[in-house]
Amino acid sequence: MKRISFYLFAMLIGTMSFLMSCSDDDDDDTTVASEKVAGTYNGNLVVKLMGQEVANETKSLSLVKNGDDAVNVVIKDFILSVSIGEASIPVSLGDLKVEKCALTQKDGKYTFSGATELKGIKVPITETSELPVDCTVDIADATVDGKNLSLPIVVGVSMSGGEKFMDVNVQYTGVKQ
């Protein structure tokens, strides 16, 4: 009888161990937020100046992991080709990097914001002259929903060391590759 009790006890312990190992913990997603949104996005960049669309071009950008709950927005060779009338003026912002954009998540959608300053950007006025300006680059309430990125950017432009005189609105929409 003692042997049967021992075997029943051993079977009970074995069954409990098996059931505990098959719990729903395997379904928990332990991927950190930044890993879910990090990657290269291909899409469209639309630039508006004083309410008028002045540029619409295909562009790739990257969201790079910066800790568990933050990303850096990186746009390589960020050139705004601004069309005014018949003329097209290329304004190079260089390699744009907005660091440590904190991620928040709600209902599977990730939101982030961030800002950076760019000093001494050269805006061509004529073929031989340039105007140095400073820019503030603000990203407010950008979203990643699944593989889709919506990234609004406001570039505030001021004379070097002076007050802001213009906002350039940029809207990027892209899909993660």
Domain range summary for the chain, segments of one domain joined by +: 31-176
pLDDT of 81 reads 66
Q: Phi, psi at residue 30, to the nearest 5°?
A: -100, 10
pTM for this model (two decimals): 0.77
For a pLDDT cut of 70, what percent of the chain falls above it?
Answer: 80
* pLDDT for residue 85 is more than 70: no
* pLDDT for residue 5 is more than 70: no
**Domain at 31-176, CATH from 3.30.365.10, 3.90.550.10, 2.40.128.350, 3.20.20.80:** 2.40.128.350
pLDDT of 11 reads 44
pLDDT of 22 reads 45
Higher pLDDT, 27 or 144: 144
* pLDDT for residue 86 is more than 60: yes
Mean pLDDT of 111-118: 96
Higher pLDDT, 26 or 130: 130
* pLDDT for residue 171 is more than 90: yes
One-letter amino acid at 142 equals A
How far, in Å, CA of 80 to CA of 63, rounded? Answer: 20
Q: Which two tokens stand for residue 5?
A: 């009790």
pLDDT of 131 reads 85
Alpha carbon separation from 140 to 98, 147, 153, 158 (Å, rounded): 12, 19, 7, 20
Please report which confidence band the pLDDT of residue 13 belongs to, taking 50, 70 and 90 as the band edges: very low
Residues 120 and 132 sit within 8 Å (Cβ to Cβ):
yes
How far, in Å, CA of 117 to CA of 177, rounded? Answer: 29
pLDDT of 176 reads 98
Q: What is the mean pLDDT of the chain?
A: 82
